[in-house]
Amino acid sequence: MENHMCSCINPREDRKYAILNAAYAGHVECVKEFIAEGCELEVDEEEWPRDRKSALCMAAISGHHQIVEILLEAGSDVAFTDATKMTALGIAAFHGQAECVRVLLKYDRNVDHEDVYGETALLHAACLGYEECVAALIESDALLNVTDTDAMTPLIWATQNSKPAIVKVRPEFMMFGLYGIMS
């Protein structure tokens, strides 16, 4: 990393953040180089809990699915959670990064993981209207009748946020009879 001239190394930051920057920016070669150098794939600061981040989560935010795959193959912890207890899968769904969601679903056995607000990946995707993510998560048997801390289900979120197409992704989405609550 000493001779690395790329912008993913910020001279004002600790070097351990470089792989996070590279993953977020989509610098495939930099990520590979940092992995080869044995960089930590996760940053977990006890004194700065809000800085709890992984390269995997950063790649998921910006939708760099190739980097997501590289990191997972390099042993990145798919169950790692950020400061709000979101996994990379939840983060990818929150940002509508469908290709990342699909890659993560190959590795993440906990499709219904809940963050601090009781939000699952499906709740995020349904709430924000990301149809492709919703479809991929339902394909992977994500719980449909899950509720978050506001007692909202994916279906309520989807109908409330004017994305009626989402409720048509699969007919079983209608099974819970909640559509009437919103109309």
Beta bridge partners of 54: 42
Q: Which is nearer to Zn ion, 20 or 103 (CB)?
A: 20
Site for Zn ion in 26-85 (CB under 5 A): 27, 30
> C-beta of 50: minimal distance to Zn ion in Å?
24
> C-beta of 100: minimal distance to Zn ion in Å?
19
Site string (96-135) toward Zn ion, x via CB under 5 A: ----------------------------------------
Q: Which is nearer to Zn ion, 6 or 178 (CB)?
A: 6
Q: Which is nearer to Zn ion, 64 or 124 (CB)?
A: 64
Site string (1-30) toward Zn ion, x via CB under 5 A: -----x-x-------------x----x--x
Q: Which is nearer to Zn ion, 22 or 92 (CB)?
A: 22
Residues that bind Zn ion (CB under 5 A): 6, 8, 22, 27, 30
